[in-house]
Every structure is written in C-alpha cells, then in structure tokens.
Structure 1
Amino acid sequence: MLYLAYQAHSDLVEPAKSIARHSLELLGALAPGSWGHHASVPIMRNLSATYELVARAGLTHTRPDYRIPAVTVGNREVEVTEEAALTLPFGTLLHFKKDIDFEQPRVLVVAPLSGHFATLLRNTVRTLLADHDVYITDWHNARDVSLDAGRFGFDDYVSYIMQFLEKMGPGSHVVAVCQPCVQTLTAAAVMAAEGNPAQPASMTLMAGPVDVRVNPTKVNGLAQSKSIDWFERNLIARVPWRYPGGGRQVYPGFVQLFAFMSMNINRHYTAHQELHEHLRNGEYEKAQVIKTFYDEYFAVLDLTAEFYLETVKWVFQDALLPKGELTYRGQPVDLKAIRKTALLTVEGERDDICGLGQTAAAHDLCSSLRPHLKRHHMQVGVGHYGVFSGRRWEGQIYPLVRNMILSMD
C-alpha cells in the first residue's frame, strides 16, 4: 500500500505540474533567462517563479547524466566517453574512457546504494579523472529490474564488487564512499583469502560505517531504535505492476529521501524560498545552483528489500564485521587475510552521519597490514558530503588519495 499511495499522489499532482509547465511556455520563461517582454513586470516575474516551482515539484526515478564531457589531463583538455565495461542485472561497471594514449592507475569508485543514484558522486569522479582511469558502480533502480533477475542482498553487492574488480584486472584500486565501505572491506578480505589476483592494490574508505559502535550518531540511533521486523513491516513496499520490476519488494527511494529531508527540513524549505526569490529577481545563476543540487537530490532509486534489511541488521544493528561475526556465502570473513592491499581511511570532523572513528576502525581490524600500508586522515571543517565533494575534497583530501594510489601502482 505504501508504494501505491505514493504513486497515486504522484499521479494526482501531475496535471498541476503539466499546467505549470504549459503556463511557463506561454510566459516565455521555460528556459532560464528567457523572460521576454514580461521581465520588467513584477507580477509576471513572481507568477513565472511560482509556476517553475510547481513544475519542479516531485521526484524522478530516472538516473541523471554524469555530465562529464571532458577533463583536463596534464596541460590539455581531453574528451570523456561513458562505456559499460560489464552489465549485470542490478548494476553496471561504468567506465569513463578518456582520449589519451598512455595508461593511468585504474580506480573503481564504489558508490552507495542508499536511495540516490551513483551520479551523486559526480564531483568525486570528475576530480579523480585527471590522474586516473576511473570506473564506477552504476547501480540500477530496483523497480526497473524484473523479478526474473532474482534477489540482490548484501552478499550479492560484495560479489558485484569482486566481479567488477576482476573485469578491471589485477593492480586496480578501489575508493569506497560511505555505506559500501563495509562491503568493500568484505570483498577485499574474501579476495585476499582466496588469493584472487584481482584483489585491489589499495583501498580508500571514505566516511563509512565500519564500526557503528564508535561515536554513534543520530542515524545510528534511528537504526537501533526499532526491531528489524518493524523496518520490514513499515518501510518495505511492493513495486506497482506498471514498472518492469513489478511485484519486487523494495525499500523505496522516496522513503529514504523523506527521512533525510526530515532531519533538515528547515534548510530545504529555506532553499526553495531562496530559489523563488532568485527566479523572481532574475538572478538565474544563483537559481541554477539550487536547481542543479535538487535535480540530483530528488532523483531517487529503490533498493531491494533484502539488501536494505540485511544492511540495517548486519551493519547498523549487529555490527557483525567489527565483531568478527560477518559471513560471506556462509563462510567467515577474516579481515586479517588482507596483507597486500594498502589502506587509507578518511573522515570528516563535522560528519553527523558517520561519526569520527567509525571508518578509522578498519585499521585495527586489518591487523595483518604492515604500518607503512596504513594511513588515516581526519579532514577539519567538513561534514559527511564534504569528505568526497567540494573544495576541501579537491584541494586537501584528493591529493592524499592520489598519493596512496600512486605509491601502490
């Protein structure tokens, strides 16, 4: 009923959005900056701004573009094209291929599967591209995956990481952001124990919940405040039959988004007030910054029910990995098996999603790694997203990541 109620509401407001879009066209204001002869009439500017906010209301379930047509490599700009290196039912190994004639270190960016598309890491990828051959785990929307594809749980996520690394080949590096730090550690341990030649040369874990018992945050508290049965009863829904994944049980992306927004609802309300003001005043560049952010933020994808519930239970409630109790395909996961993969952990001083020390816990767990293969960095003045996006990521954190990869390549 949860998904059907959301879909009914979405269908109900669509006519209003359609009217707003047509009204914008009539006012000559659909394209940014194209106010025509109404630009000098305050009431028309105000009306156009209101119509645009109505037209933008609601969510999209389609992956945005990465919008990285070119990057600067050395002293020249080179073209970037996206190629699917390996496509599996629930995710694609996407390669950002550059027009260069020399090799760079291969890096797999492991994106979170937490309600948003991997395009949320656009800035992370763009920064890495200057010095690396970059791939990303481009996760698919579960509501678009047929029931014939079967289940996709925690172990399957780990398996995808290993398959992607095997496709990239020996000597590759991995950069995991947020939630998948646990799965990435698990994959590295399993590959090391098996002597897999594709085990990563280096592993960078950024703001991830390796051990949520350390300095727990409000997010950790919410995950532990209810039983896993409660999460299943109240947050899991069945995809409507109109979609390719009809009948599949999922944790809807819109539920995750609303949960995130409720934590900072005043900030989002203020941002849309500012957007209206910028549009009304003809401040298009300022308006575009806000619109670009929310175009990404309001693009949501659904998670399979099994992946969501297993992650909540195993990572956030039971902390199986740091306790030494996590298994993969029924076999114990031993982080001591990791002996060759260099480890860099990065945390943000003001991170209110993943507390200080939760990611750094990986160093004690990877006890077989020699000291010179370990490094930790705590970035002053940034919150969760500042660890992998923005000015401090580009200027202070990225050089450390680049140096770690270079030292092991």
Structure 2
Amino acid sequence: MLYSLVEMNRVAMAPMRLAAKAGRAALASPLNPLGQTSYGKSLAAMADVFESATRYYGKPEWRIDTVRINSVTVPVKPEVTWRSPWCGLIHFRKDEDVLASTRRAGAAPLPRMLIVAPLSGHYATLLRGTVEGFLATHDVYITDWTDARMSPVWLGRFDLDDYIDHVRKMLTHLGGGAHVLAVCQPGPPVLAAISMMAEEEDPALPATMTFMGSPIDARLSPTVPNKLAEERPFSWFEENMIHTVPGPYPGMLRRVYPGFVQLSSFMNMNWGRHVDAQWKFFNHLVGGDGDNAGKHREFYDEYLSVLDLTEEFYLQTIQRVFQEHHLARGIYTYRGTRLVQPSEIRSVALMTVEGEKDDISGIGQTQAAHALCTGIPKDMQTDYIQPGVGHYGVFNGSRFETEIAPRVTQFTRRFTSRPAEEAAAATRKRWSDVRSSGAG
C-alpha cells in the first residue's frame, strides 16, 4: 500500500512540477523584466528548488568519457562485458591506440580492478568518483546491480548467496590476479566469495582484496543504523520494510525493500544538514552562483536516484550481517550447508580502509577482516584510517582522490607484478605446507 501511495503522490505532484518548470522558464527569459529583479530571482529559485525536490530521478549516466594518463587524454567508453538478469559488469574500456602511446616500451598493461558496488539503495553511479580515482592506474570494472522493481517476478529470487555467486562469476570472467575493491555493503559477501574460492584453489582467485567502510563485524563501534538493526526484532523488518511493487513497473507484484525507504532513513539521520543544503542552494540560485548551484545539483541528482532491493536479499542481509553477525562469528553457511572460512585465504593480500567520522560503518567494523583472515601473512595485510572523513568520504571526494586512492593503488601495485600462475603456485604451496603440518 505504501508503494502505491508514493506513486500516487508522484503522479499528483506532476502538474505542480510542470507549473514550476514553466514559471522558472518564464522568469529566466531575457524578455521578462521581472526576472531581473530580486523578487523575480527569488521566485525562480523557489520554483527550481521545488522542482528538484519533487522530481522523479531515474538511473544516472556515468558521464565518464576521458581520463588523463601521463598528460595524454585517453577516450573512455563504458561497456557491459558480462551480464545476468540481476547485474551487468561494466568495463571502462580505454581507447587502445591512445592508451598505447602513454606506455613505455615493454610496460605491462594496467592491472584489472573489480569494484563491487553496494546493493543498498543507490545505483553504482554513486561510485563515479571511485571509478575516476582508479581509472588512470587500473583497468576498471564495476558491478551494476539491477533495480528489483524492474525485474519481473518470473525471474525468481535473488538473495545474499546469489550475490556471492555473482561475485565469483565476475571474478572468473576477469581471470586470476585481478584486484577486488568492495565498498560498504559488499564486504561480507565478497569476503565469503573469496574464502570459498581460496578453499577450492580457484584459478580465478584475485591478487588483492580491499574493503572500504564495510560491515565485516557490525558489533564493533555500532552506529545508528547498526543499533536500529539490533534493537528491532526481525519480524519488524518483515512487516514494516517490505512492500509490493505496483504497476506499471515490470517488477509488479514483487516484494521489495524500496529505495525510497532507504533514502528516507539516510536523510532523516542528517535532516538538518539536508535542509541547510537546500537553503544554500536557494541562495546560490538567487545570487547567480552557478558553480555552487551546479555542485548541489550534481550531488543530489545522484543521491536522490534510488533502486529497490529484493525482499530476500534485504532480509537476509539484516539477519546474517547486522543482527546475528554470521561471518564475524564464524557461522556463515553458504546455501545453508557450506561453512564459509576466511582463514582459508592465504595468497590474497588484504587492505582495509575506514573513515574517522564514518556514521554508517564505525571504526573497527572493516578492520575486523584482518582478525578473520588468519591465513594471510602479516606482510600482505594493510590497514588505513582516513582522518576527517565520514562514510561517503571513504570512496568519494577530495581526500579520497589525494590520500585514499593513491594508497590503494600503491597497495595493489605491490602485488600486481606476480603473474596469475605464480600466485596460484603460491596458493598451492601454502596449502601443501598447511596440510603437511596437519593444521587448518
């Protein structure tokens, strides 16, 4: 019912949005003298703020067309190289001819990096800054998860274990020796996927895995969302957070956790900050400050674009990650039968990144990966806490660009020189040593 009411409200607001857009256009006309007055500018700004706040935001574009490498502008084209009904793997393919001109003779190709975007209410384009931060130093791929409201019910279920399967399939598609970067929510399922790959000595095992602001162990430094997940019984989430997709969406009748519910939760956490941002936006428009108004639009155009999660994926994440902490407690079972053991990872280097002021994944939650991955040698583990940034600043913004991304690049570079065959051989040797000693 809630989903239908939201859609009805959207439709009911459409005439007012059109009127606001028409009024703004009229006031912006050079033939309208009222538009040049303070009163007219205020009216136009009010119409702009109203239209922006009530608009339906669809899936954003990537808007990544070029990258600068060694002072050369290299064209970039996002392409889907692997797809399932639930996810597309996007490759930011660089023009090979231009890219070749940036390399020294005999230089190795850029290392492959798989960025696993969160499936937590926003599109993968929220990580546009993350992609741009590594585009000059890596051959970048990113997961582009499907909006559940666009998935017909005949496609069936998509749960947390299906997410793990997808990570494994995409790593297989990329081949061994790639670098995996998991941002926020994907931390536990990515760690689970790599744990099982290591146990099987999968040749597609990555060279490194980096977790950024991830709830590996949400019991540590609990934040407001963590406390909410633990204070409410599981039945509360079933009864209050799950809704049915209405028509005319392709996913009609599918049970989902709507993106607008997640967005409302995040905005309520910092309501005063968002109200203040809108007021500043209004003043920027009145004052003709196009640069700051443009930055506001760019951020909120992305932030207000949301997607839905399937019921089963959302509820399993709440239960296994935030309420019962399966992976952190060593009791996570894949498909209910196979115990996931991060201690089996021996040849994949590990890096964790956290933000000092993160109010989503508190300090220590990501670092917990080191305590779980006891089979990784200490010289293959790195931990970094970025001073002065919150959750969003861990993977976007100026400090990410100047301080975090270079550290991650330095880390992946340390383990890029080893060919995939050498890494696989190291894995087999460690396994042989463990088995011969009777441990593990």
TM-score (structure 2 length as normaliser): 0.90
The alignment partner of 1:94 has SS state of strand
The Cα of 1:160 is off from its aligned counterpart by 0.9
CA 1:359–1:59: 2 relative to 1, 3 Å: farther
Report Cα offsets for 1:214-247 as digits up to 9, x if no partner.
1211111011111111101011001012101111
> Any idea what the Cα deviations from partners look like across 1:128-185, whole Å, max 9, x if unmatched?
0011000001111110011121111100111111111111111111001111111110
1:23 maps to 2:23: yes
In the alignment of these two chains, the number of paired residues is 405
Q: Say which SS state the counterpart of residue 389 (structure 1) adopts.
A: coil
Can you give the 5+ residue segments of structure 1 that lack an aligned partner in the other structure? Answer: none
- Structure 2 residue ranges without an equivalent (≥5): 104-108, 417-440
1:11-61 CA distance string (max 9 Å, x none): 1111100111122222336xxxx8975553111111111111122123535
Tell me if the contact between 1:17 and 1:57 (Cα under 8 Å) persists in the aligned partners: no
> How far apart are residue 327 of structure 1 and its match?
1.1
1:371 aligns with 2:378: yes
- The aligned residue for residue 126 of structure 1 is 132
Provide the C-alpha distance between the structure 2 equivalents of 1:22 and 1:140, rounded to a whole number of angstroms. 34
Quick check: 1:107–1:134 contact (8 Å CA) kept in 2? Answer: yes
Which residue among 388, 401, 408 is the counterpart of 1:401?
408
Instruction: Give the greater-gyration-radius structure (CA).
Output: 2
Which runs of 4 or more aligned residues in structure 1 lie more than 4 Å from their structure 2 counterparts after TM superposition? 34-39
Q: 1:272 to 1:49 in 2, by over 3 A?
A: same
Residues 59 and 209 of structure 1, relative CA distance in 2, 3 Å threshold:
farther
Q: Which residue of 1 aligns with 2:94?
A: 98
Residues 59 and 299 in structure 1, CA contact (< 8 A), matched pair in contact too: no
Kindly state the Cα deviation for residue 187 of structure 1 after the two structures are TM-superposed.
0.8
Aligned amino acid, residue 329 of structure 2:
K
Amino acid at match of 2:192: T
SS at match of 2:285: helix
Among 319, 340, 343, the residue aligned to 2:347:
340
Question: Pairwise mapping of residues 280-299 of structure 1 onto structure 2 (< 5 A)?
Answer: 280-299=286-305
Q: 1 CA distance for matches of 2:73 and 2:16? A: 44
- Secondary structure of residue in 2 paired with 1:57: helix
Question: Match of 1:243, as an amino acid?
Answer: Y
With over 3 angstroms needed to count, the CA separation of the structure-2 counterparts of 1:38 and 1:286, relative to structure 1, is farther
2: distance between equivalents of 1:96 and 1:408? 22
2:12 is the counterpart of 1:12 = yes
Cross-structure match for 1:213? 219
Which secondary structure does the structure 1 equivalent of 2:36 belong to?
coil
Give the root-mean-square deviation of aligned CA atoms: 1.4
1:87 is paired with a residue whose SS is strand
Q: Is 1:269 equivalent to 2:275 in the alignment?
A: yes
Alignment check: 8 A CA contact 2:346 2:376 kept: yes
Deviations 1:235-271 (A, max 9, x none): 1001012101111110000000000011111111111
Distance 1:366 1:391 in 2: 31
Aligned 8 A contact 1:275 1:287 in 2:
yes
Q: Is the 8 A contact 2:27 2:41 kept in 1?
A: no
| TM-score (normalised: structure 1) | 0.96
1:107-256, aligned counterparts within 5 Å?
A: 107-256=113-262
Q: How far is the alpha carbon of 1:338 from its aligned partner?
A: 0.6
Q: Equivalents in 2 of 1:57, 1:216: separation in Å?
A: 31
Q: Output the CA distance in 1 between the equivalents of 2:2 and 2:303.
A: 21
Determine helix, strand or coil for the equivalent of 1:82.
Answer: strand
Which amino acid in the other structure matches residue 331 of structure 1? R
- AA partner of residue 391 (structure 1): S
- Return the letter of the residue paired with 1:387: V
Of 263-272 and 49-58, more deviation after overlay is shown by 49-58
Equivalent residue for 2:367? 360
